[in-house]
Amino acid sequence: MKFYNSKNKINIKFKLNDKIIEKEVEPRLLLSDFLRYNCGQTGTHVGCEHGICGACTILFNEQPIRSCLMLAAQIRDSEILTIEGVANDSKYKDLREAFKKHHALQCGFCTPGFFITIISILNENVYYDEEDLREKLSGNICRCTGYTGIILAVSEVIKKRHSKELI
**pLDDT tens digit string along 113-133?**
999 999 999 999 999 999 999
Q: Which of 122-126, 157-161, 162-166 has the lowest mean pLDDT?
A: 162-166
Do 76 and 92 reside in the same domain of the chain?
no
The answer to pTM > 0.85 is yes
Per DSSP, the three-state class of 94 is helix
* Per-residue pLDDT at 1: 42
In a domain, 4, yes or no: no
In a domain, 5, yes or no: no
Among the candidates 58, 85, 112, a domain finishes at 85
Full domain range(s) for residue 136: 88-166
- What average pLDDT is seen over the chain? 91
**Mean pLDDT of the 32-59 span:** 94
Nearest to 95, CA basis, from 31, 151, 143 = 151
**Mean pLDDT of the 96-108 span:** 91
In a domain, 123, yes or no: yes
Do 134 and 107 reside in the same domain of the chain?
yes
In a domain, 47, yes or no: yes
Strand ordering across the sheet containing 57-60? 19-25, 10-16, 79-81, 57-60, 63-66
**Mean pLDDT of the 84-92 span:** 93
pLDDT at residue 157 tops 50: yes
Do 29 and 62 reside in the same domain of the chain?
yes
**Mean pLDDT of the 147-159 span:** 94
**What share of the chain has pLDDT > 90, as a percent?**
80
* Inter-axis angle of helices 148-166 and 93-101, nearest 10: 140
CATH code of the domain containing 67? 3.10.20.30
Per-residue confidence band for 145, with pLDDT thresholds at 50, 70 and 90: confident
Do 95 and 54 reside in the same domain of the chain?
no
CATH code of the domain containing 128? 1.10.150.120
**Mean pLDDT of the 16-41 span:** 96
